[in-house]
Amino acid sequence: MRIEISPKPRSEITADIEIVCVVGKNFDHPWIQDRETLELMGFQGDQDQTCLLPSSQRLYVGLDSLHHDDVRSGYAAAIKALSNTKVSHVKTGLYLGKCSAQNVKAMTEGMILGDYAFDHYKSEKAKHPVKEVTISCEDFKGKEIDCQKAQGYVDNAVTVALATNYTRNLVNMAPDDMTPEMLAIKAVALAEENDLECIVLDEKGLEEEKMGAFLAVSRASNHPPRLVHLAYKPDNAKFKVALVGKGLTYDSGGLSLKPAEYMVTMKSDKSGACAVLGIMKAVSELGLPVEVHGIIGATENMIGGNAYKPDDILTAKNGTTIEVRNTDAEGRLVLADCLCYAQEKVKPDYLLDYATLTGACVVALGEYTTGLMGHDRGLKHSFSKAATNAGELTGTLPFNRYLEKLIKSDIADVCNISSSRYGGAITAAMFLDRFIEKENKHKWLHLDIAGPAYVEKPWGYNPAGASGAGVRMSVKWLEQTVKTFGKETPHH
């Protein structure tokens, strides 16, 4: 889909269909020219409600407001409404809100994210009839905008949306097709395409790095583990970030076997790693002045005669000993070693990890919201602000000293699960905190994306399946931090 800004008014642009938004159920706006027909068709202008009128060559879509996420969702609904037509060229005006850049990007992202369909395994492929979109610089409320700047906003949004769809594709792939080795191959391909540095460690490399926790999780799988380290190093980097992603390409629960109904969708346990790859793709293509390292731990958690067991004592990369009491708390073991690796090799200004870590986070925040955890209030606030501006939902879960006591072990340095069934998302994050060096505590942010990463029903501009959670908000946070880094104390 090619999306271009035009200085021409809408009336002078030739297209098959014009997308017209009904904002706040206001049918009196002069752009609404089919009021009687819309009433006849039962169109009330509810958010994401659409009505295609071929005779007038218009597709109407309802928006509750000009808030960027309403706009993003509305344009996704509009593109979906055209999916079974032969409409190839669409035009529309601008719907600018408080921030013009934000709404232009929202319109663009909505169309690309809404047009996504995962049909890799389908005999009949999805139809994507709309090939061209022309956006007039004429605004719904008469706001002025520089057309050249608007095209820049469109191009930025296209890059981020395509990186999100790239992430969705990786997550949606079946576990037999997206093994740890294949995920590493995908990362190498991305590095070659986007001129990134790339290191891949196999089992021998993990042993040399003394990653005993990571290796234990991988033992019973026929597919060997991989650690991937991608690096984007522009000449003008203002700061350095390490992104660490959990890449469980499949999680059976290990010997602490999951019930059958909970094993379905466990291909999505690699969502954190896939998000990191998507962020690396977007950052390098946008040319952001930030040095970004993407580190993913890719493995399977399976069962077998050599599987790691409850009661085992593992030794992580930093020498910390871990008592295993549940083999289904495996992602934190992989992340622990990868976080140690990131701190040792990168020495970042910021350290972020992404993981579908706990069902407890979904219980706490619901399916659509990412859990943010860490020590630094300023960092959590800045990331939450960026997520809101990007259209992703976050909620902060607080640490406390009482929960920390629940992961104590009588025979090792730490236990891999809490002694209580409550507060599981927080105690999992506090386990990871044991592997964050003291000087990095206020640089670290943990993102539990277990809720939004993979949902088995469509929501907003997200299809059933993978959403690409983490990509858009992280890129927004990096862009936001570029503007403020050095002007204020980065850590509080």
Q: Which residues are catalytic?
A: 258, 332
Q: Please enumerate in sequence order all residues whose Cβ is within 8 A of that of 12, keeping only pairs 6 or more positions apart, or say none.
A: none
For residues 49 and 52, give the distance between their C-alpha atoms in angstroms, rounded to a whole number: 10
Q: What is the DSSP string of 21-68?
A: EEETT-TTSTT---HHHHHHTT----BT-EEEEGGGTEEEEEES-S-H
Rounded Cα distance, 24 and 184, in Å: 47
Q: Among candidates 159, 156, 81, which has minimal Cα distance to 115? A: 81
CB neighbours (10 Å) of residue 98? 9
Q: Residue 387 is inside which H or E element, if any?
A: helix 377-390
Strands 226-232 and 291-301: antiparallel
Backbone angles phi, psi at 60, to 5 degrees: -95, 140
Closest CA to 474 of 277, 222, 249: 277
Sequence-ordered list of residues with C-beta below 8 angstroms from that of 28, at least 6 positions apart, any chain: none
Q: What is the rounded distance in angstroms from the CA atom of residue 449 to the CA atom of residue 370?
A: 5
- CB distance 300 to 284 below 8 Å: no
CA dist 286 and 301 (Å) reads 35
For β-strands 369-374 and 444-448, DSSP reports them as antiparallel
Strand partners, 26: none
Q: What φ, ψ does residue 53 adopt, rounded to 5°?
A: -115, 90
- Alpha carbons 19 and 25: distance in angstroms, whole number: 16
Q: Does an H or E element contain 251, and which?
A: strand 240-251
Within 8 A by CB and 6+ apart from 14, the residues are: 89, 91
Torsion angle in degrees (nearest 10) through CA of 277, 281, 286, 287: 90
Q: 124: helix, coil or strand?
A: coil
| Residue pair 43/60 in contact by the 8 Å Cβ criterion | yes
Contact 133, 5 (CB under 8 A): no
